Amino acid sequence: MRGTSIRLLSFAQLFCGEDVTNLMHNEVQCQQVTDTFRRLFPNAPLPIPVTTAYSASCVKRKKYRDAVATIAAYSQPQKLIQELKEYFHDHKDEFSGEDIKAILALFRDAQFPGVIVFLNILADYCILGSSCSELFKSKVRQMILSYIRFVPRSAPMLLKSLCMLSSPSASDCGDIMSVVRIAMQGGFIDPTDFAVILDVFLERGDYAKIAAQWRWMRHTSARWNQRTVSAVICAFSSLKQIDEAIVCIQCLAEVNKDPSIEAQCTFLHFLGDRIPPLAHYAEQLMRHWHPERRLLWTSRSQSVGIECIFAFFHAKMPQEVFSLLDEAFNCLKGTPESLESFLKHRGMHILMNYYALERDRHPSIDALFFDCVKCLPDLADHPLVMAAFLIIGVRQGRLSESYEAIACACPISDDGFDQFVRFLVCSLQKKYIHDLLGILREVAQRMQKELPSDIEAWLVLFDSR
């Protein structure tokens, strides 16, 4: 007896066992258990796992009225509805949106309190279901709006679902604000829902609206919610309001949290883009948020490091740029996926073009921007990077290597080739104007493309002088 462990079991566990997965998915077994229990205990409510399985089984068999009757007659309908919500979320592929919509219609006609939960279930299905059409999403969104206007007290509970189904259009944002006002009149909005509201306005680019909302949101627990505050940091950075953005960063620091990667990048971009650039402050923040250097460059946070590099680039501080590029190159060795992501980052071709002649003083820069780029498997999918790679070959006398790598690259699209040619012309026309036509014709031949007629005619004119 001493070796026997003692556990308290609920009635559902005692009756159904620890693992009810088989019961949930076996309709025959579920029906047998239900019939047996009702025969033996006619006055006792079915255990929640059994009732959940039975209700879900009715929905699968399109017996919607039986499912609703079972839920409505249950002694603890709210608990059962929550179990069904989790079940539908975990097994969304087993049901269609029309199944949930049919259940919802019956609940609404009977004025049953489960309408709000099933509206959220339906919204969840639209958000997570890959097969859900835009038309169906629009209908569900309209159903939520109509129900909120009919039952205003439901606004706080349906606000998140409404935001998740909304686009950044003016009409959708107007609907969200009207629902926010309705919810506030009721006296309560879950502070965790503020993030979803602000995300819609952030996608729309309505930064002033976010700043206005933050004036009252900051007096709630939302000031410590990472997602909410990160959206506000992005807004203040775009509005070039540095003091307000710093206050938001400090709000998160109070609870030992950092802004999201997107917010960090946006704020560091603002620091590097302002006049004068605050590059050293950007580096201090980067080191504070990402003290582990290798992890900085080999994870999603590498975009933060790249923004810091560009901050020093805009500040015309080349030694700091070289130092960070050296650090990145050393950390990225042996991690091909992270290295590819680094080289394909937006704007990297600008650094490659600008530092094309640093081969002797900084060998690691040359290895990063030439040797590593040469090995990119999808180089042709990034025409500006490929153009910068060819420019390095021209300026360093390694044109034959560049030609070979470009010839081996996968086929380039017509738009990509046009970008490639125009960036080459803009970058090489000052020093290599008389060689440029020959270079472009050689590249076009190897890539089996036609040069843009305006570019070719202009270069022929220069070449004939």
Report the distance separating Cα 355 and Cα 143, nearest Å: 57
Give Dmax (Cα) for the chain.
104
Task: With both helix axes pointing from N to C terminus, report the angle between 226-238 and 242-254 in degrees, rounded to the nearest 10.
Answer: 170
Q: How far, CA to CA in Å, does 302 sit from each of 36, 231, 295, 308?
A: 60, 20, 8, 10
Name, in order, each residue with C-beta under 8 angstroms of 142's C-beta and a sequence gap of 6 or more: none
Count of residues in the chain:
465
pLDDT at 1: 45
Residue type, 130: S
Dist CA 144 CA 133 (whole Å): 17
CB 183 within 8 A of CB 156: yes
Question: d(Cα 346, Cα 408) in Å, to the nearest integer?
Answer: 23
Whole-angstrom distance, CA of residue 151 vs CA of residue 146 = 9
CA distance 99 to 295: 46
Residue identified by tokens 């026997």 is 4
Measured distance CA(353)–CA(343) in Å, rounded: 13
pLDDT averaged per 10 residues, the chain (length 465): 53 54 63 78 77 80 80 76 78 75 75 77 78 82 89 88 90 90 81 89 93 90 94 95 95 95 96 92 96 93 96 93 93 91 92 78 84 88 91 86 83 89 86 82 86 81 64
In order, the DSSP letters of 375-434 are: T-TTGGG-HHHHHHHHHHHHHTT-HHHHHHHHHHSPPPPHHHHHHHHHHHHHHHTTT-HH
**Residue 454: predicted pLDDT:** 84
Rg of the chain's alpha carbons, rounded to an integer? 30
Burial bucket for residue 75 (CB in 10 Å: 0-12, 13-18, 19+): exposed
Q: What are the sequence ranges of the domains in the chain?
A: 1-132, 139-188, 351-465
Q: Alpha-carbon distance 340 to 378, whole Å?
A: 10
Q: Alpha carbon 366 to chain centroid distance? A: 33
Q: Which contacts of 332-335 are long-range, i.e. CB under 8 A and separated by 24 or more positions? A: 332/297, 332/298, 335/298
**End-to-end CA separation in angstroms for the chain:** 104
Q: What is the pLDDT of residue 316?
A: 92
116 touches 81 (CB < 8 A)? no
Q: Count the Cβ atoms, other than its own, within 10 Å of residue 198.
A: 26
Whether residue 411 has a cis bond before it, omega within 30° of 0: no
CB burial of residue 250 (10 Å; 0-12, 13-18, 19+): exposed
Task: State which amino acid sits at residue 314.
Answer: H
| 399, 366 Cβ separation under 8 angstroms | no
- Residue corresponding to tokens 């080289």: 343
